[in-house]
Each structure stands twice: as structure tokens, then as C-alpha cells.
Amino acid sequence: MFIIHGLGADGHDFEPLVPALALPENAHVRFIMPHAPRLPVTINGGMVMPAWYDILAMDLGRRVDEVQLKKSAERIQALIQEQIDQGIDSQRIIVAGFSQGGAVAYQAALSFPQPLGGLLAMSTYFATADSIEPAEANRQVPIEVHHGNFDPIVPETLGRSGVERLKAMGYNVNYRQYPMAHALCPQQVNDIGKWLGERLG
């Protein structure tokens, strides 16, 4: 399972999630949590920080540097391919992302040319909905989208908008909302554990 962190964090950010998922010992799940490069981020005054892409404006549509986003998605796809080359069945590979990492996860998973096991988008938005070239191999990929209805960073309206775009494109999406801000909550972690068990069981 790949977990792609959010803006300003790093790959260690989601390490505490792993034991909290309470997966069975025989689940044989490998967690890969890559680190974003350090980039200047326009909305943060040009400050250099871990970022998968530059965010140009905090408007409702989240104007972003799509070239950088797609470059990051290609990097994740290369890491996925490395796992496949090592003998992992592509349909046992889950791609998850939180916030900015979720936007990368959408792009990486939906345009990957081999069928994946699932896509989990958390507290995020579908930044490349207008430009993505979806891969036929992942037209049926199970998609789980989670959002907090008190999120002050990525408003839930953006998360819901992404879900509606996905449905309009023919994807089957399961949407869950939680009484939380821009974070994860215990009920959500429990739901993720169950969903992973279903996908990889």
C-alpha cells in the first residue's frame, strides 16, 4: 500500500496509522510512504517545504501547478512499477493519499496502465479532473473517498466535487464523511482497516 502525505509533511507522517489499522498478522501488507521533494510554495509566501506541487491560489478550485503534480504522479507510478517488477500483483497494490497527496493519488492511480487494487483519497480534491487521461485498466478500480465536514483547509465541497466528477466519468465511488477537521479520526481509521481487509483479504 502506498500512502502519499500532504503538504509540509513527509513519509513518516502516516507511520502511526499502520498499527492502528489492526490488520491481521497474515495480511502480508507492505506500506510504502515516499517523501515529497522540497519546493517553494506560492500560497505560503514562497517558503520552501516538502510539496508534491506548488499551490498557486487558495481559491475554490485550488489553482495548482499541474506540471509538477503530474511529475509527482509519474514518480509514484514508477515506484508502483518497481513493486510489480518484484513480483507483486498489480491488483494487490492500493494507492492512498491525504490532502495534496490525495490529488497526486488520483492522478497516479487513475492513469496507471495496469489494474490496481484500490484508490483511497482522504481530505483532498481532484485537481486534474479536467486534464487527466484515464487508463482503461483502472476504470473499475474501487475508489474510497473520505472527508471531514469541518475541514478548514480543503473544504468538504471540494471533496464532494471530486466525487461527482468521478461519478460523471463512470467511476464507482464510495464516499464517507466524518465529524472532523483536516485530519484522520478513529472511526475513519477503523473503516480504512476494514476496507483494506476487503481489498487484500
The active-site residue out of 99, 111, 123, 146 is: 99
Domain range summary for the chain, segments of one domain joined by +: 2-35+65-200
Respond yes or no: is residue 191 known to be catalytic: no
Closest CA to 99 of 151, 172, 177: 151
Cell (9 digits) for 136: 482503461
Respond yes or no: is residue 182 known to be catalytic: yes
Respond yes or no: is residue 99 known to be catalytic: yes
Residue 24 confidence (pLDDT) = 85
Check: CB of residue 145 under 8 Å from CB of residue 167: no
pTM over 0.95: yes
pLDDT digits (tens, 9 = 90+) for 89-139: 999 999 999 999 999 999 999 999 999 999 999 999 999 999 999 999 999
How far does the chain reach from its first CA to its final CA, in angstroms? 13
SS3 content of the chain, % helix, strand, coil (to 5): 40, 20, 40
Name the strand (E) or helix (H) holding 184. none
pLDDT digits (tens, 9 = 90+) for 19-52: 999 998 888 899 999 999 999 999 999 999 999 9
Closest CA to 130 of 162, 173, 98: 162
Please state which CATH class domain 2-35+65-200 belongs to: alpha beta
Closest CA to 194 of 186, 72, 75, 15: 186
Closest CA to 156 of 184, 131, 122, 129: 122
The active-site residue out of 13, 54, 65, 151 is: 151
Residue 134's Cβ-count burial label (10 Å; 0-12, 13-18, 19+) is middle
Residue 26 confidence (pLDDT) = 81
